[in-house]
Amino acid sequence: MPAVTLYPLRFDPIYQYRLWGGRRLGRLLCNPLPGEGPFGEAWALSDREDHASCVANGVLKGQAIGHLLESFPREMMGRLAHRFQRFPLLLKFLDVEEMLSVQVHPGDNRSDLLPPGESGKTEAWVVLEAGPRSLIYDGLKPGTTLRDLRHSLSDGTLPDHLERFVPKVGDAALTPAGIVHSLGGGLVVFEIQENSDVTFRLYDWGHIDPRTGEPRPLQVEKALAAVVFGKCNAGLVTPVVESTAPVQRERLFSTKHFLLWRLRGAAPFDIGSTDLPRVLACVEGAGDVEYQGASYLITKGEVWLLPATVGICRFCPQGQVTLLDIAIPE
């Protein structure tokens, strides 16, 4: 590839049909949905061969993120370049109109359950919209055993063994790998996770896929093998306010896989990091990233990557704005 100076990169969503989804992502993300039917996921930043995010702005428009990491490893990833062959996070918007299946993701240490080249899957959600039917199930009730789960699968009482809460807009929940979980009922969330697409379904609420007329397959034995029993740190998190001016900065998640802050305000502030990549997801309002004399407008529902070489730059809100600021731990 000819010499190119990297700049803030925007990526368009990759919509995914899901039988539990709805039609709200087209409104939230300002990108038309492709045809009729329910779309439950918009992959906002994905470095996967089957669904690769491509740059949507500037001279690199059309280039897949994986190709950029191969061509500009140091410029894209900075001090992390030696650690990752692909971008280690998968970012999504979810419209969960019905209930997601009750499911489990294996951990990084479960090579016996992971296909070659896949990692485990710790994930987290930030609630963007919620309704009167919305629920999040996140973790087993204390004392639940493998025998309890097997018995509950036979009599349909599995949800009775799960911790649950009624989410509201702004809530944040963490789901480490190995934790049984589900969510839905008119819920829209931003999801951050390890770059993995390994899911084992335990229970699917009786859903029938209208495309096939059949229930979706379950992976009960693999799911049960992946479950982590005992005390866990799943569920609602308490935001940690790190600063209030010029922008309110709350740390929502701090794991070995990802960090995420919520930034809210109307005055200009600095974003980015020296020699490290950052990702910005705008969930309210709009504003401009100012970099090397140019302005890059970020609007609601957009996800942008600041390559490591961009460093720290200025963000100028156009009124009140809420950004999710995402980092990869060193």
Pair of tokens at residue 146: 């493998």
The helix (run of H) or strand (run of E) holding residue 264 is strand 259-265
Q: What does the pLDDT read at residue 30?
A: 77
Sign of CA dihedral 137, 169, 52, 6: negative
Q: What does the pLDDT read at residue 1?
A: 54
Pair of tokens at residue 150: 């097997």
Residue 170 DSSP one-character state: T
Of 187, 323, 309, the C-alpha closest to 252 is 323
Kindly tell me the burial class for residue 82, based on how many C-beta atoms sit within 10 Å of its own C-beta (0-12, 13-18, 19 or more): exposed
**Which stretches in the chain have pLDDT values below 70?**
1-3
Q: What is the pLDDT of residues 272-281, one digit of tens each?
A: 999 999 999 9
Q: What is the pLDDT of residues 209-221, one digit of tens each?
A: 988 999 999 999 9
CA torsion 203-205-209-212 (nearest 10°) is 60
Evaluate if pTM is beyond 0.85.
yes
Domains of the chain: 9-236 (2.60.120.10), 240-327 (2.60.120.10)
Q: Which residues contact 216 (CB under 8 A, 6 or more apart)?
A: 19, 101, 201, 204, 207, 209
User: Which residues, in sequence order, are bridge partners of residue 138?
Assistant: 181
Q: Say which amino acid occupies 34.
A: P
